[in-house]
Amino acid sequence: MDVTYREEGVAEAASSVAARLADAPARLAAGEAALWGAAAEPEAAVRLGWLTLPRTSRELLPELDKLVERVRAEGLDHVVLAGMGGSSLAPEVICNTADVPLTVLDTTDPQQVRRALDDRLDRTVVVVASKSGSTVETDSHRRIYEEAFRSAGIDPSDRIVVVTDPGSPLEQAAIEAGYTIFLADPEVGGRYSALSAFGLVPSALAGAEVSELLDEAEEMLPLLRLTEGNPGLALGAALGGAALAGRDKLILEDQLSEINGLPDWIEQLVAESTGKDGKGILPVVAAEPTGARDELVVAIESDDGDVRVDGSLGAQFLVWEYATALTGLVLGVNPFDQPDVAGAKDNTARVLEQAPVAAEPALVDGPVEVYGETHAKDLSGVLTELLHAVPRDGYLAVMAYLDRLAAFDAPVPKDADFEQMTEAWTAADAQTLRALLAVRTERPVTFGWGPRFLHSTGQYHKGGPANGVFLQITGAVTADVQVPGKPYTLGELQLAQALGDQRALTERGRPAIRLHLTDRVAGIAHLLAAAQEV
Ligand SMILES: O=P(O)(O)OC[C@H]1O[C@H](O)[C@H](O)[C@@H](O)[C@@H]1O
């Protein structure tokens, strides 16, 4: 694994924190929880298990091999993973990189959940992954799949595999239901769990060679003890040193990498670990560098950045975790907690408990309703206003509570080639808004699918520097899905999550506008057209 500084400023920034990090490798190797200060010590004391996962996770392999064999023998070839944040981001990268199919359910969008349910239920195995065992999205997916299996005459205990921490409410429910259970190491936090049962179980079921990941990570262990030639130290010093020097927007480039989708995983790790106490590093995924003075560009396997990081996927996981833990040390934050995630969750619960109040939109422009404080007269005016509201050192976050696969439903001309298909998908994709707005501002524009991002950048939005401006997108639900045993549907939960987060943001004085698409397809087209008029 190699970490190369390609720019003088980075080398200087890294060396400016070298003294502070000098004894960190030895103290980390000794598992010293006091490294991050007295306030963080109790949490750190039960959060350093990731340092030994390349060895300890091998215990899982025999049991996992047996499960994979059984599932194959039964002809179950559709693997669905229900899990949020740390419980699904690593398997997503592992499976994309290994080119094995995995359906990730980290959404409350009824349309997207229906897609998964309608896909080969008779050949589906579902991994329900939740460390805490109490995450509402994952609990809903479990209930929905249990009912779907039963209605199809399938015994859920033949099809549901649970990954959770010992003693969680999910473990209890799984024991009662007779599900196959993999217990994870409770001394590993969610976003540091790539090489634990959370990363390995779904990936192995989907067909990835997970023991190779452990080999790749294990090769790093001796290097991570060194003060010279330690890739984790080199990366942590660059991230932390650059952030202290004002370069706290981390542009992640992976266009030329054979690892597929690592920036989404890094995004959660860095945003949740550093974005708190008004400090932190904002990861920016899928964006072009703009050359702004607060940017640090890290490129995976390419020369397109200020820092170049080369290495296998298993090595990348461990080295980024190590680097992030050190970055927390440099910034003076606890890299193992997520103090501002709970607020949005509490607000969601409150919204669900209240009788629905029909709020009046501030403005309606075609199929798009605008909620929140605005003086604009139309949609492009709203977008202009938001862009102008971004502070000099700030960012705009676009958050779409929609079906992330909907763009692929866009009609493509008959006999279309790949380029024409891509054009049709891009024109129907909410993500395109990010790129359209990015060319109209000097500041970074991020994009997240809701509620997925709530378990990732959501922490930074609320806990990090107060310089974000927020644009939510929600959409009308035409075919909702009831959550069995709960008084709400997925559509209601999804909207409550958006409203809950909007409240959490506005309570902190952050500008937050919600655009509601009364017709999803027409709404996206209208919104993208409006962005082009800005
Ligand atoms: O694995 P779970 O307990 O379901 O948690 C899933 C996610 O929930 C929260 O949002 C945390 O902030 C994340 O770090 C975590 O990965």
The answer to whether 249 touches 289, Cβ cutoff 8 Å, is no
Spell out where 387-464 has E strands.
Answer: 395-401, 445-449
- Give mean pLDDT, residues 292-305: 97
Burial class (CB within 10 angstroms; exposed 0-12, middle 13-18, buried 19+) of 377: exposed
| pLDDT of 351 above 90 | no
Tell me the pLDDT band of 356, cut-offs 50, 70 and 90. low
In a mutational test of the pocket of ligand 1, which residue from 81, 135, 182 has the highest number of ligand atoms less than 8 Å from its CB? 135
Q: CB–CB of 295/249 below 8 Å?
A: yes
Checking if the pLDDT of 346 tops 90, the result is: no
Q: Could you tell me if the ipTM is greater than 0.95?
A: yes
- Which atom of ligand 1 is closest in space to residue 83's alpha carbon? 4
Q: Residue 517 and residue 220: Cα distance in Å, rounded?
A: 48
Q: Give yes or no for residue 345 having a pLDDT over 80.
A: no
Residue to mutate (ligand 1; options 274, 455, 497, 501; most atoms within 8 A of CB): 455
Q: Which of 291, 237, 230 is nearest to 443 (CA)?
A: 291
CB atoms within 10 A of CB 487: 9
**Nearest ligand 1 atom, CA 87:** 1
Give the span between the Cα atoms of 152 and 131, in whole angstroms.
29
Residue 50 has a pLDDT of: 98
Cα 72 to the center of its chain, rounded Å: 29
H or E element, residue 5: strand 2-5
Kindly list the protein residues whose Cβ atom lies closer than 6 A to any atom of ligand 1.
84-87, 130-132, 135, 138, 190-191, 272, 338, 341, 455
For residue 387, how far is its CA from the centre of ligand 1 (angstroms)?
Answer: 31
Of ligand 1's listed atoms, the one at least distance from the Cα of 135 is 4
CA of 354 to the centre of ligand 1 (A): 25
How far is the centre of ligand 1, averaged over its atoms, from the C-alpha of 362 (Å)?
A: 34
pTM, two decimal places: 0.97
For 83-115, the pLDDT digits (tens) are 999 999 999 999 999 999 999 999 999 999 999
Which amino acid residue places its CA nearest to atom 8 of ligand 1?
455
Pocket test for ligand 1, best of 88, 132, 460, 462 (most atoms within 8 A of CB): 132
User: How far from the centroid of its chain's Cα atoms is residue 184's Cα?
Assistant: 20
Which pLDDT tens digit goes with each residue over 257-292? 999 999 999 999 999 999 999 999 999 999 999 999
- CA 338 to ligand 1: nearest atom: 12
| Cα distance from N-terminal residue to C-terminal residue, the chain | 44
Residue ranges of domains in the chain, CATH in brackets: 2-22+227-331 (3.40.50.10490), 52-216 (3.40.50.10490), 341-533 (3.40.50)
**Which residue has its alpha carbon closest to ligand 1 atom 14?**
190
What is the CB neighbour count within 10 angstroms for residue 229?
Answer: 10
